Amino acid sequence: METLNYRFEQGQRRLAQPPQVVGVVSSGNLEVLIEEAALNGACEIKISTAAVGFGPIWQAVMQDFQQRWQLADTRISINDMGATPAVVSLRLDQAVQTMLGEAP
Amino acid sequence: MNARVWNTLQQNREERLQRARNVLGSDLAGKSLPAARIADLLHAVLENGDRVCLEGNNQKQADFLGHALANLNPERVHDLHMLQSVLALPEHLDVFERGVASQLDFSFSGPQAARVARLAAAGKLNIGAIHTYLELFGRYFVDLPPRVALVAAEAADRHGNLYTGPNTEDTPVIVEATTFKNGIVIVQVNRIVDELPRVDIPADWVDFVVQSPRPYYIEPLFTRDPAQISEIQVLMAMMAIKGIYAEYGIQRLNHGIGFDTAAIELLLPTYGESLGLKGKIARHWALNPHPALIPAIEAGWVDSVYSFGSELGMEEYIRARPDIFSVGPDGTMRSNRAFCQAAGHYACDMFIGSTLQIDMQGNSSTATAGRIAGFGGASNMGADARGRRHASPAWLKAGQEARQGSNAIPRGQKLVVQMVETFREHMQPAFVDRLDAWTLMEQADMAIPPVMIYGDDVTHILTEEGIANLLLCRSAEEREQAIRGVAGYTPVGLARDRRMVENLRDRGVIRRAEDLGIDQRLATRDLLAARSMKDLVRASGGLYDPPKRFRNW
For B206-251, what is each residue's pLDDT tens digit? 999 999 999 999 989 899 999 999 999 999 999 999 999 999 999 9
- Rounded to two decimals, the ipTM of the complex is 0.90
Architecture of domain A2-99: 2-Layer Sandwich (3.30)
Report the pLDDT value the prediction gives residue B115, as an integer from 0 to 100. Answer: 93
Global confidence as pTM: 0.95
B interface with A, Cβ–Cβ < 8 A, is 230-232, 235, 421-423, 427, 463-465, 488-489, 494, 514, 519-521, 523
Which has the closest alpha carbon to B240: B266, B214, B204?
A: B266
Report the chain A residue with the minimal C-alpha distance to residue B424. A84
Tell me: the pLDDT tens digits for B525-537? 999 999 999 999 9
- Contact of B155 with B10, CB cutoff 8 Å: no
Alpha helix (H) ranges present in B320-384?
A: 337-346, 378-381
Contact A85 B488 (CB under 8 A): yes
Q: Which of B235, B489, B521 sits opposite A60 (nearest CB)?
A: B489
Contact A86 B523 (CB under 8 A): no
Judged against a pLDDT cut of 80, whether residue B468 lies above it is answered with: yes
Q: What's the whole-number average pLDDT of chain B?
A: 95
Q: Which DSSP string do the residues of B278-305 spell out, in sequence order? A: BTTB--EEE----GGGHHHHHTT--SEE
Report the chain A residue with the minimal C-alpha distance to residue B427. A84
Q: How far is B522 from chain A (nearest CA, A)?
A: 9
A20 touches chain B (CB under 8 A): no
Q: What percent of chain B has pLDDT over 90?
A: 90
Contact B232 A86 (CB under 8 A): yes
Q: Provide the 10 A C-beta neighbour count for residue B121.
A: 14
Would you give the distance in Å from CA B14 to the centre of its chain? 36
Rounded Cα distance, B81 and B26, in Å: 31
Contact B232 A84 (CB under 8 A): yes
Q: Which of A86, A87, A103 sits opposite B514 (nearest CB)?
A: A103
Rounded Cα distance, B1 and A99, in Å: 94
Give CA angle at B98 (B95, B104), nearest 5°.
Answer: 40
Which has the closest alpha carbon to B89: B121, B66, B108, B71?
A: B66
Rounded Cα distance, B541 and B203, in Å: 38
Which has the closest alpha carbon to B87: B122, B48, B130?
A: B130
In three-state secondary structure terms, B380 is helix
Which has the closest alpha carbon to B136: B184, B176, B86, B205?
A: B86
- Contact of A23 with A80, CB cutoff 8 Å: no
In three-state secondary structure terms, B208 is strand
Q: What percent of chain B has pLDDT over 70?
A: 100
Pairing of strands B51-54, B148-156: parallel
- Contact of A82 with A27, CB cutoff 8 Å: yes
A83 touches chain B (CB under 8 A): no
Show Cβ contacts of residue B442 under 8 Å, excluding neighbours closer than 6 positions. none
Judged against a pLDDT cut of 80, whether residue B453 lies above it is answered with: yes
Judged against a pLDDT cut of 80, whether residue A4 lies above it is answered with: yes
The CA distances from residue B366 to B108, B223, B407, B452, B455, in Å, are 11, 20, 36, 7, 14
Provide, as residue numbers in chain A, all residues whose Cβ is less than 8 Å from the Cβ of B423: 84-86
Contact A86 B521 (CB under 8 A): no
Provide, as residue numbers in chain A, all residues whose Cβ is less than 8 Å from the Cβ of B230: 87
Q: What is Dmax (Cα atoms) for chain A?
A: 35
In three-state secondary structure terms, B460 is strand
Judged against a pLDDT cut of 90, whether residue B350 lies above it is answered with: yes
Q: How far is A90 from chain B (nearest CA, A)?
A: 7
Report the pLDDT value the prediction gives residue A103, as an integer from 0 to 100. Answer: 60
Report the pLDDT value the prediction gives residue B21, as an integer from 0 to 100. Answer: 98
Rounded Cα distance, B525 and B292, in Å: 14
Any idea which of B44-53, B169-178, B210-219, B439-448 has the lowest mean pLDDT? B439-448
The CA distances from residue B331 to B196, B203, B288, in Å, are 13, 22, 17
Rounded Cα distance, B523 and A33, in Å: 19
Report the pLDDT value the prediction gives residue B375, as an integer from 0 to 100. Answer: 83
Average pLDDT estimate for A30-40: 93
Which one of A20, A90, A91, A96 would you mutate to disrupt binding with B, by most B Cβ within 10 Å of its Cβ? A90
In three-state secondary structure terms, B437 is helix
Q: How far is A22 from chain B (nearest CA, A)?
A: 12
The CA distances from residue B499 to B69, B204, B401, B483, in Å, are 61, 68, 23, 14
Q: Which DSSP string do the residues of B42-54 spell out, in sequence order? A: HHHH--TT-EEEE
Provide, as residue numbers in chain B, all residues whose Cβ is less than 8 Å from the Cβ of A89: 464
Which has the closest alpha carbon to B313: B545, B534, B542?
A: B545
- pLDDT class for B446, splitting at 50, 70, 90? confident
A55 touches chain B (CB under 8 A): no
Rounded Cα distance, B297 and B540, in Å: 9
More confident residue, B444 or B421: B421
In three-state secondary structure terms, B16 is helix
Rounded Cα distance, B271 and B241, in Å: 8
> Which uninterrupted H or E stretch holds B185?
strand B184-192
C-alpha torsion angle, residues B504, B508, B513, B517 (rounded to 10): 140
Which has the closest alpha carbon to B189: B150, B146, B140, B147?
A: B150
Contact B494 A60 (CB under 8 A): yes
Question: Which sequence spans correspond to the domains of chain A?
Answer: 2-99
Q: How far is A1 from chain B (nearest CA, A)?
A: 16
Contact B523 A97 (CB under 8 A): no
**Rg of chain B taking only CA atoms, in angstroms:** 25
Any idea which of A15-29, B356-370, B411-425 has the lowest mean pLDDT? A15-29
Report the pLDDT value the prediction gives residue A104, as an integer from 0 to 100. Answer: 59
> Which uninterrupted H or E stretch holds B535?
helix B533-539
Report the pLDDT value the prediction gives residue B170, as an integer from 0 to 100. Answer: 96
Tell me: the pLDDT tens digits for A11-22? 999 988 888 888
In three-state secondary structure terms, A71 is strand
Judged against a pLDDT cut of 80, whether residue B485 lies above it is answered with: yes
B38 φ, ψ to 5°?
A: -60, -40
Provide, as residue numbers in chain B, all residues whose Cβ is less than 8 Å from the Cβ of A22: none
Which one of B228, B424, B427 would you mutate to disrupt binding with A, by most A Cβ within 10 Å of its Cβ? B427
Q: What is Dmax (Cα atoms) for chain B?
A: 84
The beta strand positions in B383-507, using DSSP E, are 415-419, 460-463, 466-469
Rounded Cα distance, B517 and B486, in Å: 17
Judged against a pLDDT cut of 70, whether residue B121 lies above it is answered with: yes
Any idea which of A83-87, B61-65, B262-266, B308-312 has the lowest mean pLDDT? A83-87
The CA distances from residue B24 to B30, B138, B194, B325, in Å, are 11, 34, 23, 42
Alpha helix (H) ranges present in B207-314?
A: 231-240, 246-248, 259-267, 273-274, 294-298
